[in-house]
Structure 1
Amino acid sequence: MAIPKAIKILLGCNEQQTAFEWIALQLSSRLETTSSTTSDNAESRVLPSRHTKGLLRPIFVILRFWRTLQNHWHSRFPGWRSGLAGFTILATMLLIINTSTLIWAAVNLVDRDATIAVGHCDKIQKLSVYSYFVINILSTGLLAGSNYCMQCLSSPTREEVDTAHAQFSYLNIGVISWRNLISCRKRRIFTMATLMLSSLTLHLVYNASIYFTDAMHMHDIALVTSGFFENGRWTQHGIIPNTDGQIYESRLRRLQDLASNGQIWDQTQWSNLTVFECKEYSSRLSDRGSVLLVTDHQHVNASEETTVLDFTVQEPTNYQYLNRYISDHGPILYCLSLIVPSSCRLQIRVGLLIVVVVINTAKVICFLVTFREQNGTPLITVGDAIASFLKFPCTKSLGLCLKSEKEVVGLLNESENWEHNTIRKLPVQFRPKNLRYHDASSFYPWAAYISFCMIVIVVSISLYRDIMIKYAENNIATNFRALWNYGFGRSRDESSTYVTTPWCTLTLGMNGHDVECVSLDMEIFNVLVASLPQLVVSMVYIGVNHQLTVMIQLRDWTSLASRRQPLRVSEPEEGSSQVATYWLSLPYRFSIPLLASSVMLSWLVSQALFPYRASWFDDYSEEVKRGPSLTSNTSAWGISFSAMACICAIGLGTLVFIFPLAVSLRQCAPGLPAGPTNSFVIAAACHPPPNDRHAARGLVKWGVVASNHDAADGRLVQHCTITSRKVEEPIKGCWYS
């Protein structure tokens, strides 16, 4: 197509070249728009067909309605404020829920704790499993919100970046950075530290705030004749000890009242057991109480005037007492077991719930402070930084277009820069490097991540081995089917332990074999030890999130050399090709699976190792405050574990650990030097031609443009930059600045 002569006269040479480039770019952009829209971009678009009919039409109606709500939301909270506002609302709602729960627990407080539910142990344990799952969802949501807020809080403004560059330094873009805060935002260090500390401890304290109380019944055991059920007379001489004789007598009379007048035939009140079943009877049955051993009085050397031949009150810590008792008292006809209401409980530890409310409140305050403190337009994403430097290039970085982050940092650290107030810049031969995703981080972050995760996996496997040893000692089947049937988060005698501190004085319990800590109350210690793995899970989440973030940034950064694409920014300019980002630096297809895996891993850990409380109850489902012996402890805290949950946690944790390593092996597009989180590296790649003032608004690409800089030997040195103009690929061996 010919251009009219009048237009040619009006246009100079440069203007003609610019016009032709503009026309060519408009044609190429129409062809490349579809290909430049990656799967990540598709996450922000909903394009239903006008002719969609049938079952799909309501779906698209819902999607359009959701898109309308999104538009209103983003108009009210543009850019990064949108995500932060959402997390602030979430944190506020959770604060209301937690505060309401705390008030309810305080009103229903009994002996420092509040009871959520009482019932059969299987039912309460299932409720406990579901409660832990909900708690870990809420905790992970707050953890993700804190991560989002910390990145917003540490993101620098353009003025702060220019100040750092003027001082021969740099700031980090697109990642959580303590360097940024220390360099230019010292007053925000406290807010950042509060968010970090609360994020690490939230899972730990939240999971420890509820616990399962196992019911262990204290049994009255009476050796009686059939006349006992007909209100037969008995004497306490010889069968009731002198110590606490009145207490024993009242317990025996109450037991006779429950068994007389034909009540033993009520199957809802009494259970008839054979002698064999009676020998296997355990106090761990949460719905069984006292036991009557019925004997033929003709075979017992006792007075005919008494219907009670022996009586004792048995503590529930001795599980095989009936077997020995029956062997010592001759032939038994049958046994009667009193059926009592199950007394297992799901309870709230009010003191720890107060800590949860404090942490939640701190997070809400930090979110609001970030709203107020983060003024101006921060450079939250790499796209924000590119757009800013394309609009207002940084003169300090001119001539360093092929320098990687390592090389740039070396130049900035040279002492002569300060003396001459300049940076030594020389043309560089282009040598394309086959970058992989792992080049986004240096050796030390990868070493710390791998070492920490390996230690966690080794310790977890060691814990599983200890569980298997304890199972073997108690003759518990360890095949997969048996472990699966045991379930998650279920407290068992054989899968429990009692952890003590080094400063605890250990003595034998009243039964002669249980070890007890008598120097201090071990309740909080056991609760926190059981919940300690939650701290590890939070640290793993933060580490995986950071490694994935920098790798995805490197992917998006290097892709600018392979295809023309719009910039992904936090606040797109109206009428531009810029794409709005609904995340910060991690796409949904990475962030959502990461959040889901974090929830599942936290929940599995809470079921693999969890605190429990064992309390004594009487036949009336009332908690016993004192045992038959004045020195007996009627309540004990411990740590219980589940082998199957441990297996699943180790498996999922290993996958979470391996996933970033697998991603790190992927190759990046060649061309751009590594260092997309370094503000100086980004600035060096953003020196477009003077006639490309609005480059950030269109589709951009990195490549070679003409330059007026000459090398010392007289050869032409070209320049590489991100621009919306036509570019060519750099040639290996050629010089660029």
Structure 2
Amino acid sequence: MEPRTLSRISVGIHLLINALSTILLAASNYTMQVLSSPTRGDLDKAHRSGKWFDIGVLSSRNLSTIPGRRLLLCIVLGFSSIPLHLFYNSAAIYIAATIDDYDIFLVDEGSTQWRSIASNDSYATLSNAKWSGEYDTAIVHSGDLYFAIDGFASALSNNLTTLEIDSSWPATVDWKSDLKGTRTAVQALSRMNITANAWLNLTSVSNGTTPNYAHIAQVLARNVPRQDRIVFVLSFLLIVIICNAVKLATMLYVLFKERADFNVTLGDTAASFLCFPDSSTEKMCVYPRDIVIADVHRRLANDPYEVDQDIDDEAGKLEGNDPKVWRKHSHPYTPPVTISRSLGSYFIIAVICISFPICTAAAFNVSRAWGTTSDIILGRFKVNSENTLLVAWLANTPQLILSFCYLSINSECTSMAGAYEWNNMGTSRKGLRVTKPFQDQRSTYFLQLPYRWSLPLAAVSGGIHWLLSQSIFLVRIDYYDRDGRLLTGSRLGCGISGLSIIVLCVSFWILVVAVASMGRRLLRVRIPFAASCSLVVSAACHPPSNDQEPHLKKVQWGVVEERMFEGELHCSLSCRPVRKPKPGTKYL
């Protein structure tokens, strides 16, 4: 089968593989987010101890506080993804067939032998500029190589720019077919100190009675049937099937056995606190996130001085001094830096730093070969189970790294979408977006992301994983003799496509820059910035006493009519009319 046809088949197979893996990753992601989401009991327990949960995102912070059973399920889902990334794309191996048995012939252009060869349809014509590239490669697809010679030269001229033509050589030089075809021989023949690809360098094979240079009139190569193919590795397919079965069983268990009401979204959490307000966040309706966390933590110490001092210290970082006073301000779409977000950002930066020199090297050595049509192969390992496993890991470890980057980027996008959704609760009246909607409540997006975000992000993620599968891949080299018989000594290696690497790196950089740029945009704060913090959501959910089932109705955050605490004005999500808070006004 022709390489281009096989390459298209390989592209199609890997597109399907990466589409399926993207769906699996998203489903596993969502299940892990559900498992790491708190119940109302988890929230109350955490708030009473001065702790809090991340809401609406897959957070490593939550894993340390959820029950052990749910933590174990998260671990199973996470670890079952690793073999998928390491073996999924290598389940289909490209086998490149190379001719390892051919000879090189030099024939007089005017001879009967050459006319016989030239009239034979079994030979293909190669240009003077292309013949060395066809044979100076790891994968040779043609057989015996014939050069039609019409002149000779004995030496280079003194200025090394022209050849001194030596007419004393006879028109025909008796060359026997004893020049074994190897990559080294081809390199020696094509090595010239002048720009003259119509000449052969014979110095490496000259015996003193033959010329040092020969002029090429025409080049022919014997056609050999192509033996390239794609095979599936049964052991890798079994690993993939087992891991998928484990994932599916875990997700079905969560779907049918985990009956707890998880607060997966900010809307779920807000609905819970509107139905049953949390006393630990009273009088904090306009507090910034950091001050809410500090105040709840200090209140547990039952030390009013420490509480007030901590609030003053935190408030000093903001404009003004009193955190109970509403102020106009803006905030980036991205939440405050946490340890997990810092690690994710540093990891992505490290990947960019590593990919830049790789992309630069590929740019200087790039060929037009895409994916499996590339003949650049790293490594020559004997074919056995251990080496197959090793090379598969080497080829697919970047897939695992790319998945970690995707999780960080997905978490960043989810945080930004959640921030936008939450901020809109201060500008318009709408139903809460929850996982199980009733009455005026709205259905949640998949993974808390609007479809205009999640679908392009999933498509880009799958596309980048596919580009990676075209950039570095498992390949097996089979060696054949001149008659098409398979020889012993097949080898395994990592195929490399420089063109695919460049497209991959540029696509990844564009994605990172686009997400980072969106995250740095400023959001005019209309409601205290939650940044997925359960304490801030709780502080915004102390509705007035005359609100009837506000969690089921359309709500908006603002100044309510009832003065609830110490006779002061109060802000909350409410189903009743609210006013926008006035800058410089105190609210409890």
Q: Which of the five TM-score ranges fits, normalised by the shorter chain?
A: 0.7 to 0.9
Secondary structure of the residue aligned to 1:735 is: coil
Note the C-alpha offset of 1:202.
2.7
Q: How do 1:333-732 and structure 2 match up within 5 A?
A: 337-414=221-298, 417=300, 428-442=323-337, 444-469=339-364, 471=365, 483=367, 486-493=368-375, 495-498=376-379, 523-573=388-438, 576-625=439-488, 634-708=489-563, 716-732=567-583
Distance 1:202 1:647 in 2: 25
Q: Secondary structure at the match of 2:559?
A: strand
Give the helix-richer structure, 1 or 2: 1
In 2: Cα distance, 1:196 partner to 1:591 partner: 21
- Contact 2:122–2:222 (CA under 8 A) maintained in structure 1: yes
| Count of residues in Structure 1 that have an aligned counterpart in Structure 2 | 533
Q: Does the CA contact (< 8 Å) of 1:411 and 1:424 recur in 2?
A: yes
CA offsets per residue over residues 181-238 of structure 1, 9 Å max, x none? 4323211222212222333553342123333222211225397999xxxxxxxxxxxx
| One-letter amino acid of the structure 2 residue matched with residue 724 of structure 1 | C
Checking the alignment, whether the CA contact within 8 Å between 1:698 and 1:724 is kept in structure 2 is: yes
State the distance in 1 between where 2:260 and 2:435 align: 13
SS of the counterpart of 1:725?
coil
Considering only CA atoms, is the larger Rg found in Structure 1 or Structure 2?
1
Q: Letter of the aligned partner of 1:731 in structure 2?
A: K
Q: Which runs of 5+ in 2 are unaligned?
A: 150-170, 190-199, 312-321
Q: Partner amino acid for 1:544?
A: I
Partner secondary structure for residue 580 of structure 2: coil
The answer to whether the 8 Å contact 1:562/1:669 transfers is no
Work out whether residues 85 and 397 of structure 2, in 8 Å CA contact, stay in contact via their aligned partners in 1: no
Q: CA deviation at 1:548?
A: 1.2
When the two structures are superposed, what TM-score results if normalisation uses the length of structure 2?
A: 0.78
Deviations, residues 122-149 of structure 1 (Å, cap 9, x unaligned):
3222322232222211111111111111
Single out whichever of 204-213 and 722-731 deviates more from structure 2: 204-213
Matched, 1:146 2:9: no
Whole-angstrom distance in 1 between the partners of 2:32 and 2:126: 64
1:217: which partner in 2? 99
CA shift, 1:353, in A, is: 2.8
CA change 1:269–1:179 in 2 (3 A) is same
For normalisation by structure 1, the TM-score amounts to 0.64
- Describe the SS at the equivalent of 1:546: helix
Q: Partner residue of 1:735?
A: 586
5+ residue gaps, structure 1, are 1-118, 227-258, 302-307, 472-477, 500-515, 626-633
Q: AA paired with 1:529? A: L
Amino acid at match of 1:726: P
SS at match of 1:611: strand
Tell me the residue number matched to 1:282. Answer: 135
| 3-state SS, counterpart of residue 174 of structure 1 | coil
Give yes or no for contact 1:150–1:195 (8 Å, CA) kept in 2. yes
Quick one: distance in 2 between partners of 1:391 and 1:568? 15
The aligned residue for residue 319 of structure 2 is: none
Q: What is the root-mean-square deviation in Å for CA atoms of aligned residues?
A: 4.0
Closer, same or farther: CA 439–532 of 1 in aligned 2, 3 Å: closer
Distance 1:317 1:368, change over 3 A: farther
Partners of 1:519 and 1:355 lie apart in 2 by: 18
Q: 1:294 to 1:710 in 2, by over 3 A?
A: closer
Contact 1:200 1:538 in 2 (8 A): no
- In structure 2, what is the Cα distance between the partners aligned to 1:561 and 1:180? 27
Question: Within 5 Å, which residues of 2 pair with 1:25-44?
Answer: none
Q: In the TM superposition, what is the alpha-carbon distance from 1:635 to its structure 2 partner?
A: 2.8
SS in 2 for 1:213: strand
Secondary structure at the aligned position of 1:184 is classed as: coil
For 1:610, the aligned partner's letter is F
* Residue pairs, 1:198-217, within 5 angstroms: 198-217=80-99
Tell me if structure 2 keeps the 8 A contact 1:548–1:660.
yes
Partners in 2 of 1:518 and 1:605 — Cα distance?
A: 24
Q: 1:455 to 1:353 in 2, by over 3 A?
A: same
Distance 2:487 2:186 in 1: 18
Instruction: Report Cα offsets for 1:450-504 as digits up to 9, x if no partner.
Output: 43222222211201222345x3xxxxxx6xxxx5xx14214445x44338xxxxx
Cα distance in structure 2, aligned partners of 1:279 and 1:155: 62
Label 1:420 to 1:291 Cα distance change in 2 as closer, same or farther (>3 A). closer
- Deviation digits for residues 650-698 of structure 1, max 9, x if unmatched? 2211121112222223333434222252222212211111111221222
Quote the offset at 1:446 in angstroms: 5.0
The one-letter code matched in structure 1 to 2:62 is N
2: CA distance, partners of 1:279 / 1:708: 88
Q: Report sequence identity in percent.
A: 27
